[in-house]
Structure 1
Amino acid sequence: MTRTSLTAGLVALVSLVAFEYIAVAIAMPVVARELGGLHLYGLAFSGAMAAAVVGTVLGGRWADLRGPSAPLWSGAAAFIAGLVLAGAAQSMEMLIAGRLVQGFGGALVSVALYVVVARVYPEESHPKIFSLFATAWVVPSMVGPAIVGLVVDTLGWRWVFLSVPVLTVIAGLMLLRGLAGQPVTGGQAEPAPGLARKVGWAVLTAVGAGLMQYGSDGRFLLLVVGLVVLLVALPRLLPAGTLRAARGLPSVVALRGLATGAFFAAEVIIPLMLINERGLSPLLAGFALTGGALTWSFASWLQGREVFSRRTNLFGGSVAIALGILFMGAVTFDGVPVALAYPAWVVTGFGMGLVYPTLSVLTLELSSPGEEGVNSSALQVGESVFSVVAVAITSALFVAADSGYWAVYAATLLMALVGLWVAPRFQTARVAAPAVAHMS
Structure 2
Amino acid sequence: MTAGLVALVSLVALEYMAVAVAMPVVAAELGGMELYGLAFSGAMAAGVVGTVLGGRWADLRGPSAPLWTGVAGFSGGLLLAGLATSMEMLIAGRLVQGFGGALVNVALYVVVARVYPEELHPRVFSLFATAWVVPSMVGPAIVGVVLHTLGWRWVFLLVPILTLIAVLMLLRGLAGRPVKGGRSAPAPGLMAKVAWGAVTAAGAALMQYGSGGRFVLLIAGFAMLAVALPRLLPKGTLRAVRGLPAVVGLRGLTAGAFFAAEVMVPLMLIEHRGLSPLVAGLALTGGGVSWSFASWLQGREVWSRRTNLWLGSATIALGILLMGGLAFAVVPVALAYPAWIVTGFGMGLVYPTLSVLTLELSAPGEEGVNSSALQVGEAVFSVVAVAVTAALFTAAGSGYWAVFATALVITLVGVAIAPRAVVSSARGVPAGEKVAAV
Counterpart residue number, 1:338: 333
Aligned: 1:7 with 2:2: yes
Counterpart residue number, 1:370: 365
Counterpart residue number, 1:120: 115
In the alignment, the residues of structure 1 paired with residue 320 and residue 148 of structure 2 have an alpha-carbon distance, to the nearest angstrom, of 35
Aligned: 1:95 with 2:90: yes
In the alignment, the residues of structure 1 paired with residue 434 and residue 232 of structure 2 have an alpha-carbon distance, to the nearest angstrom, of 16
In the alignment, the residues of structure 1 paired with residue 171 and residue 208 of structure 2 have an alpha-carbon distance, to the nearest angstrom, of 38
Counterpart residue number, 1:3: none
Aligned: 1:284 with 2:305: no
Counterpart residue number, 1:110: 105
In the alignment, the residues of structure 1 paired with residue 258 and residue 277 of structure 2 have an alpha-carbon distance, to the nearest angstrom, of 20
Aligned to 1:163, which of 155, 158, 164? 158
Deviation, 1:189, is 5.9
Aligned: 1:175 with 2:170: yes
In the alignment, the residues of structure 2 paired with residue 315 and residue 56 of structure 1 have an alpha-carbon distance, to the nearest angstrom, of 28
Q: Secondary structure at the match of 1:331?
A: helix
Q: Secondary structure at the match of 1:227?
A: helix
In the alignment, the residues of structure 2 paired with residue 143 and residue 344 of structure 1 have an alpha-carbon distance, to the nearest angstrom, of 21
Aligned alpha-carbon RMSD (Å): 1.1
Aligned: 1:152 with 2:147: yes
Is 1:257–1:384's contact at 8 Å kept on the other side of the alignment?
Answer: yes
- Give CA deviations for 1:86-110 in whole Å, capped at 9, x if unaligned: 0000000000000000000000000
Distance 1:87 1:243, change over 3 A: same
Counterpart residue number, 2:258: 263
Matches within 5 A, 1:409-420: 409-420=404-415
Aligned to 1:379, which of 350, 371, 374? 374
Distance 1:240 1:431, change over 3 A: farther
Aligned: 1:326 with 2:321: yes
In the alignment, the residues of structure 2 paired with residue 61 and residue 192 of structure 1 have an alpha-carbon distance, to the nearest angstrom, of 7
Counterpart residue number, 1:358: 353
The TM-score, its normalising length taken from structure 1, stands at: 0.97
Counterpart residue number, 1:185: 180
Deviation, 1:217, is 0.2
Deviation, 1:47, is 0.1
The aligned amino acid for 1:311 is: R
Counterpart residue number, 1:310: 305
Counterpart residue number, 1:64: 59
Deviation, 1:426, is 1.6
Deviation, 1:39, is 0.2
Is 2:56–2:187's contact at 8 Å kept on the other side of the alignment?
Answer: no
Q: Secondary structure at the match of 1:336?
A: coil
Counterpart residue number, 1:223: 218
Is 1:117–1:126's contact at 8 Å kept on the other side of the alignment?
Answer: yes
The aligned amino acid for 1:151 is: V
15-24 or 275-284, which deviates more: 275-284
Is 2:313–2:415's contact at 8 Å kept on the other side of the alignment?
Answer: yes
Counterpart residue number, 1:293: 288
- Give CA deviations for 1:281-323 in whole Å, capped at 9, x if unaligned: 1111000000000000000000000001101100000000000
In the alignment, the residues of structure 2 paired with residue 421 and residue 71 of structure 1 have an alpha-carbon distance, to the nearest angstrom, of 36
Deviation, 1:433, is 9.6
The aligned amino acid for 1:20 is: E
Is 1:66–1:185's contact at 8 Å kept on the other side of the alignment?
Answer: yes
Q: Secondary structure at the match of 1:292?
A: helix
Aligned: 1:253 with 2:242: no
Deviation, 1:434, is 7.9
Is 1:189–1:370's contact at 8 Å kept on the other side of the alignment?
Answer: no
In the alignment, the residues of structure 1 paired with residue 386 and residue 143 of structure 2 have an alpha-carbon distance, to the nearest angstrom, of 24
Distance 1:223 1:189, change over 3 A: farther
Deviation, 1:431, is 5.5
Deviation, 1:244, is 1.1
In the alignment, the residues of structure 2 paired with residue 432 and residue 39 of structure 1 have an alpha-carbon distance, to the nearest angstrom, of 53
The aligned amino acid for 2:218 is: L
Matches within 5 A, 1:33-72: 33-72=28-67
Q: Secondary structure at the match of 1:90?
A: coil
In the alignment, the residues of structure 2 paired with residue 55 and residue 189 of structure 1 have an alpha-carbon distance, to the nearest angstrom, of 22
The TM-score, its normalising length taken from structure 2, stands at: 0.97
Q: Which runs of 5+ in 1 are unaligned?
A: 1-5, 436-440
In the alignment, the residues of structure 2 paired with residue 100 and residue 433 of structure 1 have an alpha-carbon distance, to the nearest angstrom, of 38
Distance 1:360 1:42, change over 3 A: same
In the alignment, the residues of structure 2 paired with residue 70 and residue 42 of structure 1 have an alpha-carbon distance, to the nearest angstrom, of 31
The aligned amino acid for 2:162 is: L
Q: Which runs of 5+ in 2 are unaligned?
A: none
Is 1:87–1:160's contact at 8 Å kept on the other side of the alignment?
Answer: yes
The percent identity for this pair of structures is: 77
Aligned: 1:400 with 2:391: no
In the alignment, the residues of structure 1 paired with residue 27 and residue 184 of structure 2 have an alpha-carbon distance, to the nearest angstrom, of 44
In the alignment, the residues of structure 1 paired with residue 375 and residue 328 of structure 2 have an alpha-carbon distance, to the nearest angstrom, of 35
- Give CA deviations for 1:361-420 in whole Å, capped at 9, x if unaligned: 000000000000000000000000000001000000000000000000010000000000
The aligned amino acid for 2:389 is: T
In the alignment, the residues of structure 2 paired with residue 431 and residue 182 of structure 1 have an alpha-carbon distance, to the nearest angstrom, of 22
In the alignment, the residues of structure 1 paired with residue 417 and residue 28 of structure 2 have an alpha-carbon distance, to the nearest angstrom, of 44
The aligned amino acid for 2:42 is: G
- Give CA deviations for 1:12-67 in whole Å, capped at 9, x if unaligned: 00000000000000000000000000000000000000000000000000000000
